[in-house]
Amino acid sequence: MRITVLGSGTCELRAQRSSPAYLVEAGGVRVMLDLGQGAWRRLLDSGRRVAEVDGVVISHPHPDHMADLIPWLFALKYDPVLAAQAQSTLLAHAGLEPLLAALDQAWSGWLNPPLEVLTRRWLEPGDEAALGEVRIGTAAAVHHAHSLAWRLEAGGRSLVYLGDSEAGGELAALARGADLLICHCAGTDQEPKAGHLHPAACGELAAAAGVGALLLSHFYRVVGPEEAVASAAACFSGPVWAAFDGLQLELTAGGVVRPAGICED
């Protein structure tokens, strides 16, 4: 299983940190986790094609986590090359269905690609799904009434993506024993941000869940990546990394590794 960070930022519009988006490649399947603005541009710049994406998972309906749904839905309907090649699935909390219907109505029905091009799966916390060989589990995230945290498993490897969340609920259970936990931090340990984990809380959750490694992401300008890693690492004994746009991690039987040649600069 390979993870590519396409957006390690937030709502802040920054050159180096695009809004949240991650590509997961496993079992011959490509899944996008969240579609912050710029997600498709980052994917295209990485050399992949939009038509190769089998599924899109949305964590919650804040604009910076789903804004690139709009150009995707529009392209699936009106780009004849993409519409002929793509066969993808959108997975999101059931609470997003009326929001997307309202967006489609506001745009006069232009955001409603046919079912043979895009399958919609509306889920509730605890529901399960599958995309090819990738098995998907969910739990409620503690952030927005329509937030879901996600667990992806394939080939004996497992990844948990919380999206934005505070600690609590079923999150530690969802993440139990996963190879990699992607945690969105926001605010500092001294000044935490409501609805989010601060860096030390990310480390505490990783330790409580017994995960193999921790990836911190969702960096606001006020949060220094190096300080965040140090803070989380004080609470969690496994590897801790700070995400940056373009980072790749491979989940292997021997643990989580960073392929050579991928550097921050």
Query: Other C-beta atoms within 10 Å of 116: how many?
Result: 9
Nearest-approach distance from CB 9 to Zn ion, in angstroms = 9
- Residue 62 or 93: the one with the smaller Cβ distance to Zn ion is 62
Tabulate helix, strand, coil % of the chain (nearest 5). Answer: 25, 30, 45
Q: Cα–Cα distance between 225 and 170 in angstroms, integer?
A: 27
Which CB atom, from 9 or from 113, has the smaller least distance to Zn ion? 9
Q: Are 53 and 83 in contact (CB under 8 A)?
A: no
Separation of alpha carbons 129 and 4, rounded Å: 22
For Zn ion, the closer of residues 65 and 77 by Cβ is 65
Which residue lies nearer to Zn ion by CB, 30 or 184? Answer: 184
CB of 54 to Zn ion, least distance (A): 24
Dig out the tokens for 92 from the structure: 């999101």
User: How near is the Cβ of 164 to Zn ion at its closest, in Å?
Assistant: 4
- Residues engaged in binding Zn ion (CB under 5 A): 62, 164
Half-sphere exposure of 58 (CA within 13 A, CB side): 32
190: three-class secondary structure by DSSP: coil
* DSSP-assigned states of every residue in 69-84: HHHHHHHHHH-HHHHH
Q: Measured from the CB of residue 177, what is the shortest distance to Zn ion in angstroms?
A: 26
Rounded Cα–Cα distance for residues 142 and 163 (Å): 10
CB of 193 to Zn ion, least distance (A): 10
Nearest to Zn ion of 4, 59 (CB atom): 59
Based on CB atoms, which residue is closest to Zn ion, 185 or 240? 185
Nearest of 72, 18, 20 to residue 45 by alpha carbon: 18
Q: Are the CB atoms for 2 and 248 separated by under 8 Å?
A: yes
Shortest distance, position 135 Cβ to Zn ion, whole Å = 26
- Under a CB-based contact definition with an 8 Å cutoff, are residues 179 and 157 in contact? yes
Q: Are 2 and 250 in contact (CB under 8 A)?
A: yes
163 Cβ neighbours under 8 A, 6+ residues apart: 20, 34, 59, 60, 65, 141, 143, 147, 148, 149, 150, 184
Amino acid 67 reads: A
Min. distance of Cβ 43 from Zn ion in angstroms? 19
Report in angstroms how near the CB of residue 212 gets to Zn ion at its nearest: 24
Instruction: Compare residues 70 and 118 and give the one whose CB is closer to Zn ion.
Output: 70
